[in-house]
Amino acid sequence: MKIKTLGKIAIGLSLSVAGMAFLLQNKIKRNFYEQTYYREAVDLVKGYKPAMERL
């Protein structure tokens, strides 16, 4: 009986660890995309300002 309960605990732990890693990976990806979009937006604004000054 002890071995079975230990096995269940081990499976539960590994699943929770995998779930945490998956969530962290998604969070990192989302942050990366937000950063790249933000950079693109900043570049657009920076490119837009000189164009406005030329007008």
pLDDT score for 6: 84
With 70 as the cut, is the pLDDT of residue 49 above it?
Answer: no
Six-digit token string for 49? 């300002």
Residues 55 and 47: their CA atoms lie apart, in Å, by: 13
Residues 46 and 34: their CA atoms lie apart, in Å, by: 18
Q: Provide the 8-state DSSP code for 55.
A: -
pTM: predicted TM-score of the whole model, two decimal places: 0.43
Question: What are the pLDDT digits (tens) for 14-46?
Answer: 888 888 888 888 887 888 777 777 777 777 777
pLDDT score for 55: 58
Query: Which has more confidence, 53 or 25?
Result: 25
With 70 as the cut, is the pLDDT of residue 7 above it?
Answer: yes
